[in-house]
Every structure is written in C-alpha cells, then in structure tokens.
Amino acid sequence: MKNILTLSNISKSFDNNKVLEEISLDIEKGKIISLLGKSGSGKSTLLNIIAGFEQSDSGSLYLNNKALFDNKVFVEPNHRDIGFVFQNYALFPHMNIFENITFGIDKLPKNEKQEIANNLLKMVHLEGYEYNYPHELSGGQQQRVALIRAMALKPDLILLDEPFSGIDSMLKHKIQKELLAILKESHKTAIIVTHDANEAMAMSDKIIYLEDGKIMQYDTPANIYNNPKTKRIAKSFGIANFITKNGQEYCIRPNNCVLSNKGEYKAVILNQTFQGDKYILEIQFDKNIFTMYSKEYISEENNFLSIEWEKSNKI
C-alpha cells in the first residue's frame, strides 16, 4: 500500500536533552496508527513535529511525497493540510459549533460551508447543535466536534493527541468505537497518541512503541502483544511472565500457560483469585513465580501439578 507519511532520521533535543533520536518511519495510507509510550517518551514532541508546531533538529518529513521539512524547507502548520485533534479538544469557546466547524473553511461560499457542516454534523450524530456553544456539550460531543472540525478541511492525515484522556472510563469504550467508525468510514489516515496500551490495541492497525525518544517496535497489535521486543514492551501490554533458559530470556503470556501432570517444571499454587469469568493463579516453580489463568478453581490436593506453555518468545 502507498505510504502517506515518511519520516527519516528525525531528532530533537531540548536544552541538550535528547527527546527524539533518529526516528524513521513510513505510514501507509488509510491506516490508523497508535503512538504509544510513557510520559516523556517523546510521543507528543513527535506529533508536534509532524504537525509543524515544533521544528526537528535534523532529518526530513514527507507527506504524500511532498517535503514538509528537510534541510531546505519548513512548511508552517497552516500550510501542511494535517488535521489535529487536541487533548481537551481546544474548541474555540467564543464561537458556536457551526463557527468552530467552518473556521478553517471560512473563505468558502456560505451555502457550501453550510453543506459541509451539515454533512459532518450528521456523520457524528450532532444535527441540531450548530448554534450551541462548546461548553453546552458533553465531553464526548465536544470530542466529535473537534474531530469534524479537523476533517472539514479534508486533510490527508489526522493527528489525535491523547483524545480520550479527559473522558470517563465508562464512556471511553463507546467513544473509542464511535471515533474508530468515523475514521474508518471516511478512509482517513490517523495517528493517535496514547499512553494506554489497551486503547492502542483496540483502536489501531499498527502501533508505534516509543521509549526514550526511540522507536522500539512498530507492528500490528497482535504481533506486539505476542512478540514484544523488550521486557518493558511486554509488560506494557498486559501481564507477562519471564523465564531464562540457556542464557536466553523468554516472555510467556498468562493465557499461554497450562497446568498438567507431565510438564517439565513441578509447580506449586501460591494463590488463586476469583475474577468472575476466570481465576488468576500465582504459580511457583524453581525460583520463578508465574501468573496464569484458569477457568476453574484448582483444588489444593492437586498441588503436585506441573506447568508448561504453548507459546513463548525471545526477548
């Protein structure tokens, strides 16, 4: 598939602190990418560099094969055709929803603006809210307005900076689904910054895992979950057990562990916690303590069990 965005050797330092180091990346058209990392990993800086709010110290940045930044060119944010959805949405509080949505296309004729706004509002089920002000809308509604405001200019790429950070966890799942549906329906390419691995797995076609300003892994959610390249990545995406065999460390997910009578390692159950749909077991063998799942309670008399695993991957 055609690449829409290409980053080569992007580096950035603030006060001699390297925030981004030699970032190179290709993003395919129509894909939804999550930019995942802990706070301070450089993800917001990378997003700001793509949008043009920050200037990279070196490297190059191409959108649709057009240079946005290299050693000769710096295209300002207002000429990049990149949509941006901000954390807390950054809607203009002194403008109503219609004015917010049409802010970027205010030079178009009035009826054309009206048509675009109506279509966008319909897409996000906010018809009738044109003349409301941002503070009169719920968090979820505000977020949808922020998204269609960015889409009104028909950008090739939409950047979303922690779009779910201010949303109640009960509502989050619903809004994530809605946002994903809108992005997919409109065939947009999007980069979503998040620090939540579950959010990244639920939302994206591919995940960029950023650590200390470097890309540690760039892969599909399933591949990152099952084949994490580092211990830290493994831990970020859920419970991970680690074992060293012949000098090589392996990561084993709890769902890949099974208890049997013929396994290599004799195991003792230390603890069992009921979780409704499963039990979480804490198993000790040799000097290792593993976490695994069981559908049923394992009786105390069965403590002569052994543990084995179906899948492991080298770290």
Residues that bind other proteins (CB under 8 A): 15, 51-53, 55, 67, 72-84, 86-88, 90-94, 103-104, 146, 149-150, 152-153
Of 67 and 280, which has the nearer Cβ to other proteins? 67
Q: Are 213 and 18 in contact (CB under 8 A)?
A: yes
Of 80 and 253, which has the nearer Cβ to other proteins? 80
End-to-end CA distance of the chain: 30
CB of 31 to other proteins, least distance (A): 20
What is the strand order of the sheet 306-309 is part of? 257-260, 306-309, 265-266
Of 48 and 236, which has the nearer Cβ to other proteins? 48
Of 81 and 196, which has the nearer Cβ to other proteins? 81
CB of 294 to other proteins, least distance (A): 43
Of 97 and 269, which has the nearer Cβ to other proteins? 97
CB of 136 to other proteins, least distance (A): 17
Q: Got the DSSP string for 146-161?
A: HHHHHHTT--SEEEEE
CB of 116 to other proteins, least distance (A): 13
Of 66 and 177, which has the nearer Cβ to other proteins? 66
CB of 74 to other proteins, least distance (A): 4
What beta strand segments (E) does the chain contain?
Answer: 3-14, 17-28, 32-36, 58-63, 66-69, 82-85, 157-161, 189-194, 206-211, 214-219, 241-245, 248-252, 257-260, 265-266, 268-274, 279-285, 288-294, 306-309, 313-314
The first and second tokens of residue 75, run together, are 């295209």
Phi, psi dihedral angles at 287 (to 5 degrees): -105, 10
CB of 91 to other proteins, least distance (A): 8
Query: Half-sphere exposure of 176 toward its Cβ, with a 13 Å CA cutoff?
Result: 23
